[in-house]
């Protein structure tokens, strides 16, 4: 499923960039000219996304060779060589921007995730992502989170039950919403979003497997851990950033979801130059 989606996404990206062809290269670069390029880090980063770079050039020209010098997840210092790409020069130039756009985006996500993960690595908590992703790039962006040391939350609406505030309003209560959900897929865990201790207790009594603490203060999160007493996993969500993630983790929650991993990660600075 995802391999086909990735190829389709990359084809769309190439169509967006190439249109009916690379006018400049067709005028300047001989049709049979070969070249070799080096992909290089222009800042410290965590490498993620080379499989997608290979897919870009495979779609353009199956004869182009992509040889990575480093493994996915490697810490790369500024100036470090990441890979070489060699083959028909027109093909290299045609795929350069799409390949770099993806590599920079996914590596940026991995780099930010690694920064969060390092701050809580000695604590029994997972850093997880959200569905706040770039349309069409969710698999690639969530891949970057995993490479950076984080974990994936549900991929979409289809693979996890997450009862949020609007569901609760429509169902007219936490207990009612959980009861309806329990009549569904027996293999899926049920997660409920709560914003008060009363809703937390109601979710626990109804048999929720995971409870999301929505925008609670650190003090309230700590109290929620005491109330829960291990009856369900607790996920901290909302207003999480690099400066407070450690404090949140120390409350004893099991999961910390960070939308910023995918919606606010800065693209890593990476270049591809013909040598």
For residue range 228-262, list pLDDT tens digits in order. Answer: 999 999 999 999 999 999 999 999 999 999 999 99
* 257-269 mean pLDDT: 98
For residue range 112-147, list pLDDT tens digits in order. Answer: 999 999 999 999 999 999 999 999 999 999 999 999
Across the chain, mean pLDDT equals 96
Same domain, 76 and 155: no
pLDDT at 5: 85
Same domain, 55 and 71: yes
Indicate if 16 belongs to the active site.
Answer: no
Indicate if 172 belongs to the active site.
Answer: no
Residue of 11, 132, 182, 246 marked active site:
132
Indicate if 214 belongs to the active site.
Answer: yes
Residue of 22, 193, 235, 254 marked active site:
193
**CATH, residue 94:** 3.90.1170.20
**CATH, residue 131:** 3.20.20.70
- Say whether pLDDT at 1 is over 80: no
The span from the CA of 64 to the CA of 25, in Å, is 17
Same domain, 225 and 257: yes
* 80-87 mean pLDDT: 98
Same domain, 157 and 52: no
Same domain, 82 and 211: no
Tell me the angle at which helices 89-119 and 2-18 cross, rounded to the nearest 10 degrees.
130
* 218-222 mean pLDDT: 98
Backbone angles phi, psi at 259, to 5 degrees: -65, -30
- Say whether pLDDT at 55 is over 70: yes
Global pTM?
0.95
Per the structure, the complete domain to which residue 53 belongs is given by 2-117+266-274
Indicate if 176 belongs to the active site.
Answer: no
* 36-40 mean pLDDT: 98
Residue of 17, 34, 176, 214 marked active site:
214
Indicate if 183 belongs to the active site.
Answer: no
Give the pLDDT band (50/70/90) at residue 184: confident
Burial of 184 (0-12, 13-18, 19+ CB in 10 A): exposed
Same domain, 144 and 41: no
* CB-CB contact of 38 with 107 (8 Å): no
* 217-221 mean pLDDT: 98
Residue of 11, 97, 146, 182 marked active site:
97
Q: What is the DSSP string of the chain?
A: -HHHHHHHHHHHHHHHHHTT--HHHHHHS-TT-EEEEEEEESS-EE---HHHHHHHHHHH-TT-EEEESS-TT-EE-TT-EEEEEEEEHHHHHHHHHHHHHHHHHHHHHHHHHHHHHHHTTTSS-EEE--S---TT-HHHHHHHHHHTT-B---SSTTS-EEE-HHHHHHHTSHHHHHHHHHTS-TTS-EEEEESSHHHHHHHHHHT-SEEEEES--HHHHHHHHHHHTTSSEEEEESS--TTTHHHHHTTT-SEEE-THHHHSPPPP-EEEEE-
Same domain, 246 and 182: yes
Same domain, 93 and 151: no
Burial of 124 (0-12, 13-18, 19+ CB in 10 A): exposed
């Amino acid at each position: 499923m995802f391999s086909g989606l990735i190829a389709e996404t990359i084809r769309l990206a190439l169509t967006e960039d190439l249109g009916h062809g690379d006018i400049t290269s067709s005028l300047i670069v001989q049709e049979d000219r070969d070249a070799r390029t080096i992909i290089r880090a222009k800042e410290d980063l965590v490498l993620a996304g080379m499989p997608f770079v290979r897919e870009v050039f495979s779609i353009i020209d199956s004869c182009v060779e992509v040889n990575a010098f480093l493994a996915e997840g490697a810490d790369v210092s500024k100036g470090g060589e990441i890979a070489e790409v060699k083959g028909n020069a027109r093909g290299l130039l045609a795929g350069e921007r799409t390949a770099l756009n993806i590599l920079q985006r996914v590596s940026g996500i991995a780099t930010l995730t690694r920064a969060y993960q390092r701050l809580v690595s000695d604590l029994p908590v997972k850093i997880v992502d959200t569905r706040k992703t770039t349309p069409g790039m969710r698999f690639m962006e969530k891949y970057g989170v995993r490479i950076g040391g984080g974990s994936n939350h549900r991929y979409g609406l289809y693979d996890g039950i997450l009862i949020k505030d609007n569901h609760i309003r429509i169902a007219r209560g936490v207990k009612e919403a959980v009861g309806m959900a329990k009549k569904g897929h027996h293999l899926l865990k049920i997660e409920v979003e709560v914003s008060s201790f009363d809703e937390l207790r109601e979710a626990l009594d109804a048999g929720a497997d995971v409870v999301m603490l929505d925008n609670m203060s650190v003090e309230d999160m700590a109290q929620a851990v005491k109330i829960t007493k291990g009856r369900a996993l607790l996920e901290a969500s909302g207003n999480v950033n690099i400066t407070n993630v450690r404090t949140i983790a120390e409350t004893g929650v099991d999961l910390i979801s960070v939308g910023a991993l995918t919606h606010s990660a800065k693209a890593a600075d990476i270049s591809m130059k013909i040598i």
